[in-house]
Amino acid sequence: MSTHSAFETLASTHVASLDLTVEHYRHIETGAQHFHLRCEHDEKAFCVALRTMPMDSTGVAHILEHTVLCGSERYPVRDPFFMMTRRSLNTFMNAMTSSDWTAYPFASQNDKDFYNLLDVYMDAVFFSRLDPLDFAQEGHRLEFADSGNINSDLVYKGVVFNEMKGAMSSPVSQLWQGISAELFPTTTYHYNSGGEPSDITDLSYEQLLAFYKSHYHPSNAVFMTFGDLDVPDMHQRLQDLALSRFEQQDKRWQVNAEKRYVAPRAVQSHYGVDGDDISAQTHHVMGWLLGDSIDLDAQLEANLLSQVLLDNSASPLRKALENTELGTSPSPLCGLEDSNREMSFLCGLEGSEPEHAAAFEQLVLDVLTQVAEEGVDADVVEAALHQLELHQREIGGDHMPYGLQLIFSSLPAAIHYGDPTELINLDPALERLKQKIAEPDFIQQRVRSLLLNNRHRVRYTLAPDQNLNQAMAEREQQQLQCIGSELSQQQRQQIADNAEALKQRQAQQDDESILPAVGLADVPASVPYVAATKVVSSGPKQTEYQTGTNGLVYQQLIADIPPLNFEQLSWLPFFTHAWTEVGAAGHDYLTQQNRQTATVGSLTSYATLKGQVDDANRLSSYLVLTGKALTAKVQDFADMMAETWHSAHLDEHQRLADLLKQTKARKEHGITGSGHALAMSLASAPLNQASQLGDELSGLPQARRLKARVERLKQGDDGFIAEALQSLRAALPAQPDDVLMIHDAQAAQAHWAAVTGHWQQPGGSLDGAQTVEFSANSARYWMVDAQVNYCAWALPTVSVTHPDAAPLAVLAGVLRNNLLHTAIREQGGAYGGGATQDSAQACFKFYSYRDPRCEQTFDDFARSASWLKQQSPDESLVEQAILGVISSMDRPGSPAGEAKQSYHLDRTGRSQMIRQNYREQVLSVTWADLVRVAEIYIEGQVGSRAVVAPRGTESVAQALGLEATDY
């Protein structure tokens, strides 16, 4: 293993279970750490992380993360990060702030692109310009409500300011921040690293600069890379790009051990609710501060204990939380948090009342005491260990590049001066854990030492307050009025001048040519495609993919859904959730949950309902039961899949009632985080059958339907759920028409044998067509508990087989990269905004995310076509947008994930030929094509608008001409 002279090699560890080698290097001059995960992988990944440990809630680390990416020494343009997103074939490109680190990761399959991004990222991180105007744009600033009148009211603006207003609208976010603050009274975790909106405006530009100078130094940095890299060459690049210009920093940034409580604490706080009914909206959480997170053995023991107590509905603590009358369902904050310097264990209950706090705490302590006294079955502990082993073996990459998944799973250890190699190479520690659990009282001892005898315990209650949101808004207005009353005319003019300077900066055209780029010549000609290894049509069709699954097998049972009425369809999303959560084959749900944990890595279900590939008004649908398991469990896995399909117990009334409550709570928790998607769904609903049914079954109308069904439960009627699900199940196919199998070569024979033992009769011959009559909700302005807006405008267009689909997709990229990014995000202050061509629903969608504006945002959407026609033809903008479309098409997944994707694309008619033809059309788009489709599909069109908005804003809905409704 050769080494660059500026670095020293500290260790090299082969990880057999993942077939990679972790190499550890240290930069001699600065002490910067570099961990390289060497493997044969087409995708390369990079991350540089800095320890950032703020001691207030001004969001300094978060705002700095944004501002660092706004220009640097070698790339003195206003927006190099977003410019590079459109000059790149990246598979991932982002920046993120955690509680005690800030990271700048990217990944690419193209070597030229990878090193282009490396150049820009290194210069941004270590030689950022940090222009005061960028701080004003990304962080916070004062402006006048009427920009032409310096005597008008003041308002706060800023991207992070509005981002955190949106983020902290979520009760779960407030709950997490509240319990963290109490568990960590003296260290950085006491504070909101993202920033509390009320505190963000206290941050000065000078404080931002000081934080950058002290924290953004190679001595405080951890570099992590993944893939088939020439490490000496990488070290030379790091040396040349930044490291050679720094010396060792004396300061060692680290989080000290937290001061421990001598007695448990109980705290109550409040969150704002704008509705009239605040019953059953209180959250209770208990948290314990545990040991050092870089002690791998202690971390695995705590993880195992968390699995035993909370993993499934049969686990003792989760069972108690699901069945208690003190609340509706377990809190989303249940489990082990092991990324901080010291670990914490949390469990909680939502849908409760403030007066139940003590009873909730006693319930939890009673369960823990019972476990400490009686223990749990050895099979339960073995099953929990099985889950840890399966998680270690699985190759991911479907939601984030696999290399970055490994990097982020091990990064906290490096941040806290531990060894990330141990978190990647878990097998030795798992072997030690196996020996420990052989002790007859292992779980009892850990429950006592980590929880019952641990006095650093907090019970945190978050109760609703109908007046809090108004009080917060009034406080902000009073603060602004106070500032305004003390301003001289000269100071007022300065605010106006600063706003104008920022507006001019946002409008300036930078020379993008100074940034590196890939071009269309670097784009692969062919669409990625994974062909099935074997297809057998006897009995149900059986489709096999052999790929590198590292000892796991994946199976899906698939059947077309026959025509259903709307009432049946409205239950389908809940049915697919409940199907794998109830008992089966004579086992009640508690026994079945334990059997699943011992047998499979996951067992879930979903339904696909979408328009035909060439017509969004012709619907097709099918049902999927999907799971994964270790090869050693393949027969038990196939048995469990079959018994679930045939004999799920859809008559467990109390279990179904509990699941419905949990489903409703999860849907509500997701509203503010996915408000833009919900708004786009609402906006597109009137345009065609696919969009309308999609909105009704997965959007806000379904959330309201869940709410009404839970209200019906309160009347004492729980039989209606089982009746609805049994009626739906009777209408669904008795057996699958296709079995999808994904495995490596070693597992092929055993997997085939296990599957064919169950499925030998032919499946149905349905086509899954749906023609549904129903009365759709007409409201397009939904008011929820949020502080910001989510706006959307949808226009009817074409499906993917139409020649205009490709130029519309490229048009969306050009508008998103240019007009909308500047108008919505930079000038408007929204956290995000853009446009997309949704060929599956045959519509073009504009959207904004965490947006302080509404009417002005729709004005910006509406001027898109005229803006385009006013521009001089610029094929470079077209090329950049094409790169973005191709990058999204080529983004790799896990080996199993890519096989699943190819199968389902083929099943829904999105064949390799259709996608290849679409790819070639995308690559041939010109500026003239964009102008043409903009004139046809956008200019002068009415379309459909929708907003997810704060409560009490009916006047805005009226001004927009939209029907308003309260969620």
pLDDT reported for residue 109: 96
Return the half-sphere exposure (C-beta side, CA atoms, 13 A cut-off) of residue 886.
Answer: 32
Q: What tens digit of pLDDT does each residue of 357-409 get?
A: 999 999 999 999 999 999 999 999 999 999 998 988 898 888 899 999 999 99
pLDDT at residue 764 is higher than 70: no
Q: What is the mean pLDDT of residues 139-152?
A: 93
Residue 534 β-bridge partners: 544
pLDDT reported for residue 762: 67
pLDDT reported for residue 769: 81
863 CB-near residues (< 8 Å, 6+ apart) = 819
Task: Categorize the per-residue pLDDT at 539 as very low, low, confident or very high, splitting at 50, 70 and 90.
Answer: confident
Domains and CATH numbers, the chain: 7-246 (3.30.830.10), 265-465 (3.30.830.10), 541-770 (3.30.830.10), 781-966 (3.30.830.10)
Count CB atoms within 10 A of the CB of residue 23: 21
pLDDT reported for residue 277: 85
In the block, residue with structure tokens 């106070």: 482
Q: How far is CA 879 from the centre of its chain?
A: 29
Q: What is the mean pLDDT of residues 263-272?
A: 97
pLDDT at residue 171 is higher than 90: yes
Q: What tens digit of pLDDT does each residue of 493-513 get?
A: 999 999 999 999 998 889 999
pLDDT at residue 767 is higher than 90: no
Q: What tens digit of pLDDT does each residue of 734-752 get?
A: 999 999 999 999 999 999 9
Round the CA-based radius of gyration of the chain to a whole number and report it.
28
Task: Kindly give the residue spans of alpha helices, DSSP state H, lying in 758-836.
Answer: 805-815
Buried b (16+ CB within 10 A) or exposed e, 825-846: bbbbbbbbbbbbbbbbbbbbbb
pLDDT reported for residue 376: 95
What DSSP line would sit under 648-701, residue for residue?
A: B-TT-HHHHHHHHHHHHHHHHHTTTTTHHHHHHHHHHGGG-HHHHHHHHHHSHH
Q: What percent of the chain has pLDDT over 90?
A: 93
Task: Categorize the per-residue pLDDT at 3 as very low, low, confident or very high, splitting at 50, 70 and 90.
Answer: confident
13 CB-near residues (< 8 Å, 6+ apart) = 21, 22, 421, 425
Q: What tens digit of pLDDT does each residue of 418-464 get?
A: 999 999 999 999 999 999 999 889 999 999 999 999 999 999 999 99
Q: What is the mean pLDDT of residues 290-298?
A: 96
State both tokens at 718.
Answer: 């729980």
Please provide residue 661's backbone torsions phi and psi, each rounded to the nearest 5 degrees.
-60, -45
Contact assessment for residue 17 and residue 392, using Cβ atoms and an 8 Å cutoff: yes
Task: Kindly give the residue spans of alpha helices, DSSP state H, lying in 286-341.
Answer: 296-310, 316-323
Q: What tens digit of pLDDT does each residue of 827-863 get?
A: 999 999 999 999 999 999 999 999 999 999 999 999 9
pLDDT at residue 691 is higher than 80: yes
Count CB atoms within 10 A of the CB of residue 521: 5
pLDDT reported for residue 355: 98
In angstroms, the CA 426 to CA 421 distance is: 9
Q: What is the mean pLDDT of residues 278-296?
A: 97
SS (H, E, C) 263-278: CCEEEEEEEECCCCCC
Q: What percent of the chain has pLDDT over 70?
A: 99
Q: What is the mean pLDDT of residues 520-540?
A: 93
pLDDT at residue 1 is higher than 90: no
